[in-house]
Amino acid sequence: MNKLKTFFILLVLFACSNQKEKDLEIDLIDHVTRQLEYAVEISEPVRDSILTSPRTIVDGELKLVRSRDWTSGFFPGNLWMLYEITGDEKWKEYALEYTLPLEQEQWNGKTHDMGFKMFCSFGKAYKNTGDEAYKKILIQSAKTLVTRFNPAVGCIRSWDHNTDKWDFPVIIDNMMNLEFLLWAAVETGDQSFKDIAITHAQTTIKNHFRDDNSSYHVIDYNPETGEVENKHTHQGFAHESAWARGQAWGLYGFTMMYRETGMTEFLIQAEKIAAYLLNKPGIKDGEIPYWDFDAPNIPDEPYDASAGAIIAAALFDLGKISADGKLYTEVAKNILESLSSEKFLAPVGENKGFLLLHSTGHKPHNSEVDVPIVYADYYFLESIIKRNNFEKTE
């Protein structure tokens, strides 16, 4: 009888816990919806045919960027995700309004960031509307992206700037653009898109990672021979330090590569990166990373909420495909809970409409330090969707 009583008590507690989580989820979605309504409201008067999309806050003012900026696809992506969450047609209309100005970027071969720009915007437009015109734009964008692939190196070139410093730079961020190529391979039947994505990822495993499974930011190659010339961490504290967002990009990128290809080597790499991250103080408990894990003045260093959001989004996926999935999912939930707290989630009607506080873009250049940044919001929303989808399948 005592055992039966205990069982029913636990059942009631479990039900109450689940109801509390559902109530908190409803509150969070309401908060996000009202804040993005505010974001659109204050963006509209300052947008024009040149400056298309919010990126951050500079000196207290909203900063919008041109379509060619690598972050231009994230805000339309945020609007598309809110449409997916709410089903409210007005978000679809807003999303299209911010997506369509990026159409010209399908021909821009001077950037490796086609995934960020075009797949986050037009990719979601095609997913949510089925409009073949958007598919055509995406396929041309993928064709433009692969013109930057160098077979001798085995990678897609990242930056074209600072030619005095690098010959053929490849950044860990570039892993995030490979999902776009894998999509293009499926949609077109052209295997070369997939081959390039796989080769780039395999080359990255070979050269980007240290013995402790942390990664450099930039690997510079000889474009003729493919030999490694330099290993740098351009946006981190030092070349041998672990820039937090770089580790997040790697985790997300290799988790995605396994999810999309089923190739075990990518799962192994993702799990190695996850092990590195989860061994860092506080991460298992959901603490948000500082901008560099080796920054000298922790805890008196800026956070990077964007790194936390990317890690959470990646761990929700890794939680579905790894033998250690339960651990990864719990950590993802803990991080998402931290991002949803008053410390990181901006009050409605403040923060120029951005959702999250305390991201860091490029601290060594004193650029975008401890400010909201649009891609933090993007992966925060993605994490919310992934958590919701995960819980529906439990």
**CB-CB contact of 319 with 336 (8 Å):** no
Kindly give the residue spans of alpha helices, DSSP state H, lying in 100-212: 114, 122-129, 132-145, 178-188, 191-208
Distances (CA, A) of 107 to 5, 96, 158, 175: 67, 20, 16, 21
Q: Distance between CA 283 and CA 289 in Å, rounded?
A: 7
Which residues form the catalytic set?
113, 173
Residue-by-residue DSSP string for 226-250? --EEEEE-TTSSSTTS-BHHHHHHH
Helix (H, G, I), strand (E, B) or coil at 199: helix
Helix (H, G, I), strand (E, B) or coil at 53: strand
Q: How far apart are the first and last CA of the chain?
A: 30
Q: Other C-beta atoms within 10 Å of 199: how many? A: 16
Q: Under 8 Å CB-to-CB from 269, ≥6 apart: which residues?
A: 205, 209, 250, 254
Q: Of the candidates 266, 309, 273, 279, which has an alpha carbon nearest to the alpha carbon of residue 77?
A: 309
> Both tokens of residue 255?
């988790």
Task: State whether the Cα torsion 162-165-168-171 is positive or negative.
Answer: negative
Q: How many residues does the chain have?
A: 394
Residue 367 pairs in a beta bridge with 362
**CB-CB contact of 359 with 372 (8 Å):** yes
Q: Under 8 Å CB-to-CB from 130, ≥6 apart: which residues?
A: none
CA 280 centroid distance within chain: 20
Q: Distance between CA 381 and CA 387 in Å, rounded?
A: 10
